[in-house]
Each structure stands twice: as C-alpha cells, then as structure tokens.
Amino acid sequence: MAVSTNAFEMAQRQFDHVADLLNLDSQVREILRWPLREYHFRIPVRMDDGSIRVFQGFRVQHNDARGPNKGGIRFHPAETVDTVRALATWMTWKCAVADIPLGGGKGGVIVDPATLTDGEKERLVRGYIQSIWKNIGPRNDVPAPDVGTTPQMMGWMMDEYSRLSGEYTPGVITGKPVGGGGSLGRTEATGYGVIYTIREALKHLQMDGSKSLAAIQGFGNVAQYAAIGFIELIGGKVVCVSCWDREDRTAYTFTKEDGVDPHFLMSITDQYGSIDKAKAKDAGYKIEDGGAWISKDVDVLIPSALEGQINAETVKLIKPRVRVIAEGANGPTTPEADEVLKANGVFVIPDFLCNAGGVTVSYFEGVQNDMNYYWTKQEVLERLDTKMTQAFQSVLDMALKENVFMRDAAYMVAIARVAKAMELRGWI
Ligand code: NAD
C-alpha cells in the first residue's frame, strides 16, 4: 500500500469502505479505526565523536485481538507517526488474511541509517529496546526488520531484550540471522508465497501454468524468488525483470523473450538488487527502459519493486493478454488504476494477501523459537504453501460469494476475522 504523509488517513478510508460493505457495527469501527496503543520516545545516543544525539522513536500497536502484535521497525529520515500507524493497521489485516494468530504493530525511528557507523547503529537499536522493552515481548508485541534495519540489528535488539529481562528470549524479535534464532526459508518466503498465490489463481482461471509468461518489476529479495518460483514451481517463463541502476540513477528492464535465467542474473546482481548491465548484455539480454516491463505481452504481471507503479497512466500500457496481476510489492496499484483493472476483468491478487509469505515465515520463526526446535527449509516451505493456499482460497471464496474484487474480499475476510476475535474475547 502506498505510504504517503497521509498514509494513515488512507488506511482509515480503506477501512471505512469495507466496514460499509460488511455493515460493521459502529462500536467495532470505533475500535478498529485507531491503534489501541502507541508509544513515542526519545532515544539519546552517544556518537563516535563523544557528542549526544537524540532520536525520535515510535512503536504502534494497532490491534492484538488475534494474538501478539507483529510488524517491522523502520529507520527512515522521513518517518512519521502517521506512517507507522498506517503500517501497523495494514499489518493487522495482513496477519488476519494469512490467518496467523498475530495482530498488527509497527515501529520507527526518524534517522537515515546510512549516516551512522556500526557502533552508533548498535547503540541506537539498544536504546530503542531500552525505551520499549516493557511493552514488547513474545506474548505481546514482536518486532522485525523493515526498511533501513537489518538481521544484525535484530540480533542486537534480541540481545538487549534478553539482557534486560534476564532470560534468553529469541521469540521477542523475528528476522534474526539463521544460526542466531532465525528460520530457514525466510529469504525465499515472500517470493515463493507470491508464486503459491499465482499458482492458485491460474488454477481458478483454468490457465495452463506451463504455457504462461510473466513480466516482473524489480530484482530484489521478492522478485528474485518470484522469478525462480514462476519457472521452477509453475513451469512458466519469465520474459523480463527490472531494477534500479544506482550509477545511472534510472531503472532498466532486462529482457529475454525465450526466458530469463534468474540464477544467472542473481550471480551478477549486487546486494541492493542492481543487475550488472555489461554482463547481462554479454549474455544476450536486451536492456530496455525501466518502464518496459509493464507493456509486455504476457499472462501475469508481478510488480515487486515499489508502490504506485500501476497508475492512471501506466495502466493504459497493459496488454489485453494480461489476466493476473500479483502484487509482490506493497501498494503497487493506485485506486484509479484499480478501477480500470476491475473494468477490464484483470484478476488482481492484492498485496497484503500476495506478499504475506514473509510475515508467515516470521510467525514460523517465533513458533520455532518457542519450541527451541528448528524445521528444515523444506518443512518451512511446505507449511508456507499450506498457509498461502488456504489464505488465497478464503479470499477467493469471499470474492465469489459477495461478487466483489479480490482486494475488497481480502479486506472483508481480514476485518471479519479481527471483529470475530474481539467478540469472542468480550471486547464488543
Ligand atoms: P529489495 O530492496 O530487495 O529490492 C527492490 C528491487 O526493486 C531492487 O531490485 C531494485 O533495484 C528495484 N527497483 C527499485 N526502484 C525501481 C524502479 N524504479 N524500477 C524497477 N526496479 C526498481 O526489496 P524487496 O524486499 O524485494 O521488496 C520489494 C517490495 O516488496 C517492497 O514494496 C516491499 O515493501 C515489499 N515486500 C517485501 C517483503 C520481503 O519479505 N522482502 C515482504 C512484503 C512486502
């Protein structure tokens, strides 16, 4: 979902729209329109030059009726409490639609992490935990990495929490490195989750996966495993991927009409998801402008880079052959483009269903931490497949029953589940 300065108003508007469709009770609306709790705190950090800088931190807990709050911590210079509130609200819906027993939370610090040394980063994340540790924990709120934070930072946070609480508590945070309490399969989780939902969509539309073509925007964590999955699990071809080129400060599309080789492309991609143009060209890839992916004559589009990519202008470029749009990224489609896709009968797998594989394996990480027993990668991915398939099916059932677009159906499933949990707990 697009994150703008008024992101929280947008989250509330989306909620109101679906609350109307569901004819939701006014007291339930009153609870769900706002986060139940939020914490604002200032974090003083000793910098390497001996001075003290004070950072603003937030943690928002939107709703924990279904289980402990869950959501990442972002380090971003433009962070605002409204962005964090919106993201926490969306986490409530994402966990509910994936049917994992967790609520919605999100955290943030106003900082550009690129301006900090490793030592300063470590002191800042430890300071964050010192400020909030009494209000988080495996049973009430479990943070994770997000924009600007890394598995190493999660390791420091887990250590600080364990030190303050006096016991080893890996389940307080997910996204930890493997070997430090992390789960196998987390790297693949979001991209493969996207693929499990595409596989189900193709089945529903009675399309043959082995004859389908896909175009992907992005070549980072989500897109790489979506590309591998489309080829290896669905049996189709991926005709292009795209990426941002940091040197040229523009995006490019890397095309091979007879199918890209994602393993090769990964071998020439840096840690930020930028592909080496010269090596790709040598290997026979056509290098086109960054927008070319959207106008490919394919069956499936998989936007997996940024928000707002399918908008009132670009939606006109989509070819009639496209039957499925699988939103690997958060918020890739604007409401105006959504209306066009609806009118054209394109089957959209909405972001908070399509990319829920990441949070699902984060939940598995917490389960494994609780048991102190770790599954193989195959076990993790099989369980992920089961969860994603069930989630897709319940949204599709709602869409067919109520005759609504998949995005509305996903909200309806999620909001109804949270409302039900509140009722069962006697909150309403
Ligand atoms: P990433 O940073 O690993 O990769 C982003 C990719 O997008 C890179 O290849 C980058 O070069 C490319 N890119 C950036 N600007 C571009 C442009 N203008 N045109 C084309 N490509 C461009 O990020 P990621 O983790 O793969 O996340 C991608 C999206 O998926 C984001 O919206 C993120 O919020 C969402 N998401 C990620 C996860 C996860 O587990 N990683 C989970 C849920 C949602």
Span 263-285, mean pLDDT?
96
Q: In whole numbers, what is the pLDDT of the chain averaged over residues? A: 96
Fold of the 187-351 domain: Rossmann fold (3.40.50)
Kindly list the catalytic residues. Answer: 106
Interval 330-388: pLDDT, tens = 899 998 999 999 999 999 999 999 999 999 999 999 999 999 999 999 999 999 999 99
pLDDT interval class at 57 (50, 70, 90): very high
Distance of CA 270 to the CA centre of its chain: 21
> pLDDT band at 307, cuts 50/70/90?
confident
Q: Which residue has the tokens 């939020």?
A: 38
Gap from CA of 304 to ligand 1 centroid (Å): 6
pLDDT value at 1 more than 60: no
Is the pLDDT at 4 greater than 70? The verdict is: no
| CA nearest ligand 1 atom 3, residue | 220
Q: Taking 90 as the threshold, does the pLDDT of residue 118 lie above it? A: yes
CA of 10 to the centre of ligand 1 (A): 22
Is 32-170's fold the same as 187-351's?
Answer: yes
Structure tokens at 15: 């909620």
Residue-level pLDDT at 246: 85
Checking if the pLDDT of 2 tops 80, the result is: no
- Report domain extents, the chain: 32-170, 187-351
Ligand 1 cavity residues, CB under 6 Å: 190, 217-223, 242-244, 251, 273-274, 290, 304-306, 328-330, 355, 358
The stretch 281-304 carries a mean pLDDT of: 98
Nearest protein CA to atom 15 of ligand 1, as residue = 244
Confidence of residue 117 (pLDDT cuts 50, 70, 90): very high
Share of the chain above pLDDT 70, in %: 99
pLDDT at 236 over 70: yes
Q: How confident is the model at residue 5 (pLDDT cuts 50, 70, 90)?
A: very low
pLDDT of 161-185, one tens digit each?
A: 999 999 999 999 999 989 989 999 9
Out of 190, 240, 384, give the residue to mutate to test ligand 1, the one with the largest number of ligand atoms within 8 Å of its CB. 190
pLDDT at 166: 98
What DSSP line would sit under 56-108, residue for residue? EEEEEEEE-TTSSEEEEEEEETT--HHHHHHHHHHHHHHHHHTT-S-EEEEEE
327: left (phi over 0), alpha (psi -120 to 50) or beta: beta
Residue 240 has pLDDT above 60, yes or no: yes
β-bridge mates for residue 52, sequence order: 46
Question: What class does CATH assign to 32-170?
Answer: alpha beta
Give the whole-angstrom CA distance, residue 421 versus residue 85: 21
Q: Which long-range contacts (CB under 8 A, 24 or more apart) does 218-221 make?
A: 218/242, 218/243, 218/273, 218/303, 218/304, 218/305, 218/306, 218/328, 218/329, 219/243, 219/254, 219/265, 219/269, 219/273, 219/274, 219/275, 220/272, 220/273, 220/304, 220/305, 221/187, 221/190, 221/191, 221/273
pTM of the model: 0.94
Residue 317: closest CA among 340, 342, 286, 349: 340
